[in-house]
Amino acid sequence: MEYEKVKPPEQGEKIEYEDGKLKVPDNPIIPYFEGDGIGKDVVPAAIMVLDEAAKLYGKEISWFKVYAGEDAYRLYGKYLPDDTINAIREFRVALKGPLTTPVGGGFRSLNVTIRQMLDLYANVRPIYYLNGVPSPIRHPEKVDMVIFRENTEDVYSGVEWPRGSEGALKVIKFLADELGVNIREDSGIGIKPISEFATKRLVRMAIQYAIDNNRESVTLVHKGNIMKYTEGAFRDWGYEVAREEFGDVTITETELWENYGGEAKGKIVIKDRIADNMFQQILTRTDEYDVLAMPNLNGDYMSDAAAAMVGGLGIAPGSNIGDGIGVFEPIHGSAPKYAGQNKVNPTAEILTGALMFEYLGWKEASEMIKKAVEKTIQSGIVTYDIHRHIGGNLVGTREFAAEVVKNLQNL
């Protein structure tokens, strides 16, 4: 493939995708971009750790630097150049830093654009506790959830028109004339599509993940009591997937109690919860929830709230997964006021890299990274965000990553 302003490394091999599975060489080429704000601090720190973990695991990554965000605009005159999208398509797995999205006007979210252009339909965010991290809840060790958030639809589809625009007025008129629905003329209008196709492939991935990782339950989180034909349909289609495609290994919560006496006996329990109730459930009945599947907006809110339970966005990894393609990014934003200060916590980006290793099939290396990060924090070597709560030895972004590397070497 030809690139305009970047060149893939001469060393390394492509990751391939055959028969529904990744074929990962020992020396994969992996594109990465630092993004905006603190991305320039945390991504290089993470790569330092990932390189060491890969080496200890007998692998070697050939990194391919590409651009998105402000750097890309300076180089290409656009925030998301074709080179970057083409590189991810060609090499299949990428590591990214945070990208700034303006509130209100300005360009559309680059994160959402990347997900939609590459059909990265599942935003997968594991939420788990690292010993030593300060938490606002009494028993953070009970938190061990994996959130599957649908990534391409819902209000994030970007189909909307501003107040008073020709598009908004046309939609308002159509609804009034054709369907008898009256909406105030000074309204902005947005469309919330939720399809059977997108719902089922997300829930299918969530259930398969539960099977592959010996998880006990999958909970469908929705607001179907109010939005019956979008979020309510999400719930119904989710149960259909479980029943029709995984009926031999799943049971509903009702069946659990009526037919199994409350003992799942190796079956994965499929249940559902109303979204607002789920926010209290993850706090009051934390250990009853395992894998969660939900529409886009619910997933955005829920994953941030769950991350707060284990110490905040600074330690929360994330990923965007499609069929044979994945882009890995931390949950946190670009925090431009801290950019370039060698101050922020790189843990989220480091653990995002660990999640990427897990996706590549390098599970032992992924676990090594988690243990080394946890050991570093437990030893009291921490960045400012944790230091202000528990004290210890205050270090910068690079120094924290260097300490994680030392702990990797001594596991």
- Domains of the chain as residue ranges with CATH: 1-124+313-410 (3.40.718.10), 135-151+194-310 (3.40.718.10), 155-191 (no CATH)
pTM of this prediction exceeds 0.75? yes
Kindly report the average pLDDT of the chain as a whole number.
Answer: 94
Q: Which residues are annotated as a binding site for D-threo-isocitrate?
A: 109, 111, 115, 125, 149
| Positions at the binding site | 100, 109, 111, 115, 125, 149, 300, 332-338, 345, 384, 388
Active site members: 156, 223, 276, 300
Q: And the tokens for 356?
A: 């990427």
Locate 344 and state its tokens. Answer: 């922020």
CB neighbours of residue 4 within 10 Å: 10
- H-type helices in 57-132, by residue range? 70-76, 82-91, 110-117
Residue 394 has pLDDT above 80, yes or no: yes
What pLDDT score does 104 carry?
46
Residues making up the chain, counted from first to last: 411
What is the residue type of 249? V
Question: Has residue 172 got a pLDDT over 70?
Answer: yes
Across residues 186-190, what is the average pLDDT?
Answer: 97
> Which amino acid would we find at residue 325?
I
Q: Show the tokens assigned to 392.
A: 């210890």
* pLDDT range class, residue 88, cuts 50, 70, 90: very high
Residue 63 has pLDDT above 90, yes or no: yes
Name the band, by pLDDT with cuts 50, 70 and 90, for residue 112: confident
Measured distance CA(362)–CA(381) in Å, rounded: 27
Binding residues for Mg(2+): 300
Say which amino acid occupies 92: R
Tokens (6 digits) for 365:
């290396």
- Cβ neighbours for 280, distance < 8 A, ≥ 6 positions apart: none
CA distance 377 to 402: 13
- Cα separation of 184 and 36, whole Å? 39
What is the per-residue pLDDT for 167?
96
**How far, in Å, CA of 320 to CA of 93, rounded?**
10
